[in-house]
């Protein structure tokens, strides 16, 4: 029998993160968002709760949970704020997960305990100024210097989350390391610790949304790291990152559902309090229908990411279902933020309102970790087209 109900342990996690988001994140996030500051105090609390270690084994310093547990936490955080949610998502599914999946025992021992505790963050260096969806177009290069047993990296990366905080410890960089027999680029991934000479983090971007998260352009000018910093097999970097992105799409779908559900939460609350023509606006059918459609979108999107996560954890082919979940959930987030702003009227257009932030945060969900167009390509390929 198909069961989309959370078990007792999962429900306890959901409630714990929900309460944390409402009691600790909600009161402070508007100020961080307005001033574009990183919420270090919130991140420290999340680390103490074990959220950064949710899907990792206990021997690595994690909580011994699974990827679905991470998704539950992301949804509940994003119901209140997406900047905090994406900080967790990028730190776990993009930052620490490549080391967990492909790292050597020595790399795992060196990096994972700090990453699982939230004391340090890692970033995922894929996107470049001239390459987004076309990851195979990577221009950053790494040349192996046999004399010093080091990789020498030159190039740049763009829009990299968690790459410039005071607690960022590394960036995993995809670079061209040679040429394959068929003439295509040989792509490998290499760990670059923060503070390595020649590794420069540009000032943070001025963004439309996710204003309390950390995003930078990175440059590498003759950056030298030991040969032991190669992550996984040489020439397998592209395949590794594709696996990480497939998983990450489920996480972004969960985050999108959280934003979509947050729009419902805020709209129901406002519709019960705001009066027009002598009655709460929630008594009017026009408002009721708007909110009913929002709840429908959030519910269907949640079922989609639950299904994709279940397939992944069962060891089944989940690529197409992850793309479906991400595409549908990001659409739901964008639509719900639009209608939540409509329900709130002029107040919804104010940046200090939750739905104002939701509206600004929603658009990037249709772009990050694969645009909506890329998701449609993946779905079509999965159907044999």
369 assigned to active site: yes
Residue 29: in which H helix or E strand, if any?
helix 26-35
Other C-beta atoms closer than 10 Å to the C-beta of 184 total 10
Other C-beta atoms closer than 10 Å to the C-beta of 108 total 20
**Tokens describing residue 144:** 């192996």
Cα separation, 291 vs 280, whole angstroms:
14
Among 76, 150, 266, 369, the one annotated catalytic: 369
Cα distances (angstroms) measured from residue 205 to each of 91, 160, 301, 335, 366:
18, 10, 30, 26, 19
Other C-beta atoms closer than 10 Å to the C-beta of 166 total 9
What does the chain come to in residues?
385
Residue 238: in which H helix or E strand, if any?
helix 237-273
Other C-beta atoms closer than 10 Å to the C-beta of 49 total 18
Catalytic residues, by residue number, are 369
């Amino acid at each position: 029998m198909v069961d989309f109900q959370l078990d007792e342990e999962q429900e306890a996690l959901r409630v714990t993160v929900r309460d944390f988001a409402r009691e600790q994140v909600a009161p402070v996030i508007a100020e961080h968002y307005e001033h574009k500051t990183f919420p270090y105090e919130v991140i420290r609390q999340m680390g103490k709760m074990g959220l950064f270690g949710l899907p990792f084994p206990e021997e690595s310093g994690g909580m011994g949970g699974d990827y679905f547990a991470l998704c539950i936490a992301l949804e509940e955080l994003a119901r209140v704020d997406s900047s905090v949610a994406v900080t967790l998502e990028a730190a776990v599914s993009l930052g620490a997960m490549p080391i967990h999946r492909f790292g050597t025992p020595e790399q795992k021992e060196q990096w994972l305990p700090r990453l699982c505790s939230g004391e340090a963050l890692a970033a995922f260096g894929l996107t470049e100024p001239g390459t987004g969806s076309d990851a195979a177009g990577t221009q950053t290069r790494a040349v192996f210097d046999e004399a010093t047993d080091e990789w020498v990296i030159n190039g740049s990366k763009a829009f990299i989350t968690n790459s410039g905080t005071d607690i960022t410890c590394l960036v995993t960089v995809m670079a061209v390391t040679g040429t394959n027999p068929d003439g295509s680029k040989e792509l490998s991934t290499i760990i670059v610790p923060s503070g390595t000479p020649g590794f420069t983090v540009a000032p943070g971007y001025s963004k439309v949304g996710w204003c309390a998260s950390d995003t930078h352009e990175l440059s590498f000018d003759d950056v030298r790291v030991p040969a032991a910093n190669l992550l996984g097999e040489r020439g397998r970097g592209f395949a590794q990152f594709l696996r990480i992105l497939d998983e990450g799409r489920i996480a972004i779908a969960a985050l999108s559902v959280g934003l979509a559900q947050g729009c419902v939460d805020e709209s129901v609350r406002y519709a019960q309090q705001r009066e027009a023509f002598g009655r709460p606006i929630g008594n009017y059918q026009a408002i009721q229908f708007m909110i009913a459609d929002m709840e429908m979108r959030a519910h269907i999107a949640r079922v989609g990411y639950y299904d994709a996560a279940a397939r992944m954890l069962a060891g089944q082919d989940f690529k197409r279902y992850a793309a479906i979940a991400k595409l549908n959930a990001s659409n739901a987030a964008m639509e719900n933020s639009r209608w939540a702003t409509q329900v709130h009227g002029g107040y919804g257009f104010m940046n200090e309102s939750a739905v104002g932030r939701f509206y600004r945060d929603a658009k990037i969900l249709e772009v990050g970790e694969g645009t909506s167009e890329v998701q449609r390509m993946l779905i079509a390929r999965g159907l044999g087209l």
